[in-house]
Chains A and B, each alone.
Chain A
Amino acid sequence: MGVTEQGLLERDKDTMTLNMGPQHPSTHGVFRVILEMDGEIVRSAEPDIGFLHTGIEKNAENKRYVHCIPMTDRLDYLSPPQNNLAFCLTTEKLLGVKELPARADYLRVMMCELGRIGSHLVWLGTHALDIGAMTVFLYTWREREMILDLNEMISGVRMMTSYIRIGGVAQDATPEWLDGVRKFVDYFPAKVDEYESLLTNNPIWLDRTRGIGTLTKDEAILWSMSGPILRAAGLDWDWRKKKPYSRYDEFKFDVPTQDHGDIYDRYLVRVEEMRQSREIVKQALDHLPDGPYKIEDNKISLPPRDTLHTSMEALIHHFKLVSDGVKVPKGEAYVPTEGPRGEVGFHIVSDGSNTPYRVKMRAPSFMGIPGMCQIMEGAFISDVVAIIGSVDIVMGEVDR
């Protein structure tokens, strides 16, 4: 301790260290951040992650490709179909699969977009709850329940669907499921308007979100942010448009963007994305093609169940696929896809065997955390929860 020119006592440290998490409810999982506080203002924020580290990447090196799919569900557990899709697209690229049957692609797109709506509903509910708007949470959970019921109808599981498989999807959509999706598609737009009527012009919401947690376009690019955060900062970047996979080029939809890059803009972008996703689901439902729901190459996907009794080859293929799995040619591949939080992709290295040699997930939440802590610097302590909510991290894919 010394004395300043004005004769005041000079302390070594003028800031207070404040620990937040890993059990704080607004960190959406087990995320810890160490804040250096100068009064109410955050001077620096140091993230601490790894509390949910389950070694999925190491685990995948010792499992067959098909067995990896249920593990990818557990990465971003709010939109599992997107992870399944990214993993399967990369494996299919290594396998040299050029094109899937149209019905398989359409079913994949429908599941992914329903997953995106479900994920954004969780985000909207919890984000509003963090800021103090309790009602939205109850409303969004009501609609998410419908999506989970649809998941259960088509895959047997409410959350960890593992519905998208290498070479297609697990099973065909039933007429009941399609009816359920139709009901949801007709029901949902009015509900999005309802959320907006609660928040978009709400003065408290505007005070808490406008001009706060701003990340400009250049900063967002520098910090490798992706998805809605880039789009809220004014960059029109969406892998569904840039490099269309799974026939996304056959659907008409807009990529919403905003200019300021603050919390409010991220809110507007995500709410509009829910409407656009609903558009895509509706188009896929209207134009759902008939035909097979997986490729007919039985070295990659299982032969139809009823052929096992009559065809020797089908039986052999079935036995080989179940007991030995898919053999993937040597090589490495990476396919970027657009998840609810940003770019989701798997870098897979194959050594020619039936297990992947190395699996690395490009997780948008993981890449987004350093940038998020950058935004926190200079913000008020009360805005920290709003900033965490607006970046929408999922700890499952951060820690993997």
Chain B
Amino acid sequence: MIIDYLILSIILFCIGILGVISRRNVFTVFMSIELMLNAANLAFIAFSRLHESMDGHVLAMMVMAVAAAEAALALAVVILLHKHKSKLDTNVFSLLKG
């Protein structure tokens, strides 16, 4: 059933949120965001199969493009921060704190 795919997508999204809010490692937080994007993609494809129209496939391709752009920029930022602080802790990166 299509609903099983949607439930799997909800479960994966919640695991991604759990990774973002409970981990302090920059890479793990970043990969959890990737996992959430993947869960959204799965929901798009499942709805596209449910209605037998291909708009969801196009949206999934755009999410992939956004994820690629995000990966390039986020990894560049992580490398810069690691050069400055040589740490991977998200609590260290609080430069904007007042």
Are A and B associated in one complex? no
Spell out B's residues near A (CB within 8 Å): none
